Structure 1
Amino acid sequence: MSVVIIIPARHASSRYPGKPLVDLRGAGGEARSLIRRSWDAASAVSGADRVVIATDDSRIQEHAEGFGAEVVMTSEQCRNGTERCAEAIANLGISPEIVVNLQGDAPLTPAWFVEDLVAGLRADPQAGVATPVLRCSGKMRADLIADRMAGRVGGTTAVFGADKQALYFSKEVLPYAAGTFGDDEDSPVFHHVGVYAYRPDALASYAEWGEGPLERLEGLEQLRFLERGRRLLCVEVEARGRQFWELNNPEDVPRLEAMMQEMGID
């Protein structure tokens, strides 16, 4: 088996309990749950051999199996999606070439984000993990800054070197840049897209390490790799006119629904 997509989903989110079962209305007016829309996004990825939802909650399991998804149950002790993916692969008893973690709060993730991510990891044999980054327009950067000023986490930013190796990830808007940028102008800020591709050995190692101090402070699972000195490849992806946002807070629901309306996503 070459590529397996795991969608980790938990009910007990600290910022938004029950988030995977929240309904989102698309352009056609149909309401589908967040986890269903994330599963739809994963199922559209070319080259994926299997899509599995990994959860510790029977409500999510019952709902997901109701729309035809494969579900694997994992423990409540998983501290983040990467740990849940590692446990899911172990419980499934499989060893694919690449494991993709498409987190259940990113239903607008275009298929080519994941396809380009897998291609990027395959092209860099030294990297054990890769994640997509999207250059922010002036408007997206302004939205991120506005969320932080309002005390909300609107997204995560990524900083990386010339070799595309990640230097840091933060819920603050990094790097700092003086001045303003036009709505459609490129900014120097890169939005981290919440998707990961792992080689199985890197995923297994992650599950054995303890939580690091930066990971704990930022609440960002990928920092565990950086704190352990592991190479984490940032793969720049293109929006191709698509809007992208993750569902982090209740206030994001109308924002996502407006984006789906504008893009004609049912």
Structure 2
Amino acid sequence: MSVLIVIPARYASSRYPGKPLVALKGADGEARTLIRRSWEAAMLVNSADRIVVATDDYRIRVEAEGFGAEVVMTSDRCRNGTERCAEAHAALGGGYDFVVNLQGDAPLTPHWFVEALVEGMRADPGADIATPVLRCDGRALSGFLADRRAGRVGGTTAVFGADRRALYFSKEVIPYTAITYANDAPTPVFHHVGVYAYRPAALAAYPGWPAGPLEELEGLEQLRFLEAGRAVLCVEVDARGRQFWELNNPEDVPRIESMLAEMGIA
């Protein structure tokens, strides 16, 4: 089964304009842009047949083509990364069995997260979309809670049923727990990792669905699938000792650089 990975990237982020071109220093001290690090993460995925960067900004196009990425130009009317992936897939002529949305702000995404999504979709033909969830340890949960106290959103959390079908996603930390956990202790909170694998039919239909009130309130594109009654499969993944964080705010830059240094990633 063929897999297309699309890395959607836009310059006009409301929380952090220009972030795809932000430089992140690795363990060797070399600075590489966020979009380049995201593309390098995608290149490690074993099941990928084709990888493209989808953007509406020529500054991002120049940067991406400069390090050898294939770029698909999309319109500036795309309201989120899923709509940009749908437009990119159509522009390429379709024909892929699965389309993966590897967000351009998650350069620490391990390749096995994406591979697990593809396997999850193959095993569950009733799922329209699959997305990874990562059980937070105490350290990650403390980071999320500290961000919320400071008025920032550090990441998205997910709750799901026994069948692994998503119940809800939120920028708040859910479910609520009053327990204080040790840094390496598991918690009942799952971090939603901003990666998606879609069946092409569901992806093509997505831009035509109206954004519902939950999507509008939370600002989370995946909620449109839930509000449309579509099945969203949550695939629990194992970090295997890897730290994971998304770049959502300027304050995340030193945090991610510290993680790159600790993990020895150049």
Q: TM-score normalised to the size of structure 1?
A: 0.99
Give the letter for the 1:254 counterpart: P
Shift in Å, 1:8? 0.1
Partner of 2:239: 239
Shift in Å, 1:36? 0.1
Q: Matches of 2:141 and 2:177 in 1, distance apart?
A: 10
Partner of 1:34: 34
1:21-47 deviation line (CA, Å, top 9, x unaligned): 000000001100000000000011001
Moved over 6 A (4+): none
1:105-254 map, 5 Å: 105-254=105-254
1:195-251 deviation line (CA, Å, top 9, x unaligned): 000000010111111111100100000000000110000000001000000000000
* 2:257 counterpart SS class: helix
Q: Matches of 2:30 and 2:191 in 1, distance apart?
A: 29
- Paired residue total: 266
1:53-74 deviation line (CA, Å, top 9, x unaligned): 0000000001100110000000
Q: Matches of 2:145 and 2:223 in 1, distance apart?
A: 22
Partner of 2:71: 71
Give the letter for the 1:221 counterpart: E
Partner of 1:17: 17
1:111-150 deviation line (CA, Å, top 9, x unaligned): 0000011101110000010000000001101110100000
* 2:254 counterpart SS class: helix
How high is the sequence identity, in percent, across the aligned residues?
Answer: 74
Q: Matches of 2:144 and 2:127 in 1, distance apart?
A: 29
Give the letter for the 1:31 counterpart: A
Q: Matches of 2:155 and 2:209 in 1, distance apart?
A: 25
Q: Matches of 1:143 and 1:65 in 2, distance apart?
A: 35
1:1-29 deviation line (CA, Å, top 9, x unaligned): 70000000000000000000000000001
Shift in Å, 1:179? 1.6
1:97-119 deviation line (CA, Å, top 9, x unaligned): 00000000000000000001110
Q: TM-score normalised to the size of structure 2?
A: 0.99
Q: Matches of 1:170 and 1:205 in 2, distance apart?
A: 23
Partner of 2:93: 93
Shift in Å, 1:94? 2.1
Give the letter for the 1:76 counterpart: D
Q: Matches of 2:193 and 2:186 in 1, distance apart?
A: 17
Partner of 1:262: 262
Q: Matches of 2:40 and 2:59 in 1, distance apart?
A: 19
Give the letter for the 2:91 counterpart: N
* 1:63 counterpart SS class: helix
* 1:230 counterpart SS class: coil
* 1:108 counterpart SS class: coil
Shift in Å, 1:171? 0.2
Give the letter for the 2:166 counterpart: A
Give the letter for the 1:240 counterpart: R
* Structure 2 unaligned residues grouped into runs of 5+: none
Q: Matches of 2:120 and 2:62 in 1, distance apart?
A: 35
Give the letter for the 1:122 counterpart: R
